[in-house]
Amino acid sequence: LPPPWEKKREKKQSSITSGRGRGVAGKEGRKEARRRRMAVEYRCCGGAFFEHIAIIVVLVLFAGLMSGLTLGLMSLSLVDLEVLAKSGTDKDRKYAAKILPVVKNQHLLLCTLLICNAAAMEALPIFLDSLVTAWGAVLISVTLILLFGEIIPQSICSRYGLAIGASVAPLVRVLVWICFPVAYPIAKLLDHVLGHGKAALFRRAELKTLVTLHGNEVTELDYLIFQIEIP
């Protein structure tokens, strides 16, 4: 018979071996479970996949609209809109009449557009992460936002800002009410620090120069120039 200490050593060795076996099996099991989770998470062409794609498209378009409106609406001065509302073409009058109530509180409008734009851009990687890897979500979101959320919308709205702003004026009003609890305090702080956005008025000399610049296209401007004199 083996001595007692040999029996203890054999029991200890067997327990160590079984523990190592369980550890290896545990690691393999965790790896297999991780692979299964990734396969489920990145599974293509299912119902959830197309839902996430639709949400991503909506978020990109919404972020692009907010970015374009930030440039298009904020670049329109109140004086320009009032002039268009009174003496512009029929379309310009309609457009200016729709935009003027929205643009009057410029800081509130600016805060609303920026909050909505930031919310859409921050939500985009969350839905992309469920379709691709983390680095892929970051890369795709940056590309989509840069191209379809910044460059193209701002290029379009800088050219057709009046028409686009008038078309989405009801939506902008709804967004102002939704973001009002957050946007209003920030807008009041900006009003207090920077002052209210006042309309920039032309002096007589500036009006005179403006009329002179358009002298080749408009008739009888010499008479108008002499009428615009500094007292």
Q: 6-57, pLDDT tens digit by residue?
A: 555 555 555 555 555 554 445 566 656 555 544 445 556 667 778 888 888 9
- Structure tokens, 149: 């959320």
Q: How does pLDDT run across 189-220, given as a tens digit for each residue? A: 988 888 765 555 556 665 566 566 655 555 55
- Of residues 162 and 3, more confidently modeled: 162
pLDDT (average), residues 138-158:
85
At 175, is the pLDDT very low, low, confident or very high (cuts 50, 70, 90)? very high
Residues 209, 183: contact at Cβ < 8 Å? no
Residues 96, 85: contact at Cβ < 8 Å? yes
At 127, is the pLDDT very low, low, confident or very high (cuts 50, 70, 90)? confident
Domain residues of the chain, as ranges? Answer: 1-41, 47-198, 201-231
Q: Tell me how crowded residue 202 is: count the other CB atoms within 10 A of its CB.
A: 11
Write down the pLDDT at residue 193: 86
- Structure tokens, 51: 């839902």
Write down the pLDDT at residue 200: 53
At 182, is the pLDDT very low, low, confident or very high (cuts 50, 70, 90)? very high
* Alpha-carbon torsion, ordered 179, 79, 158, 138, to 10 deg: -30
Q: How does pLDDT run across 54-84, given as a tens digit for each residue? A: 888 999 999 999 999 998 888 887 877 888 8
Burial class (CB in 10 A: 0-12, 13-18, 19+), 199: exposed
Report the C-alpha gap between 149 and 14 in whole angstroms. 64
pLDDT (average), residues 82-96:
84
Name the pTM for this structure: 0.67
Residues 178, 66: contact at Cβ < 8 Å? no
Res. 221: pLDDT tops 60: no
Q: What distances in angstroms separate CA 198 from CA 78, 124, 184, 195, 222, one per listed residue?
A: 8, 36, 18, 8, 31
Residues 169, 99: contact at Cβ < 8 Å? yes
Write down the pLDDT at residue 35: 53
Highest mean pLDDT among 47-51, 115-119, 158-162, 206-210: 115-119
- Work out the mean pLDDT of the chain and round it to a whole number: 75
Report the C-alpha gap between 172 and 108 in whole angstroms. 11
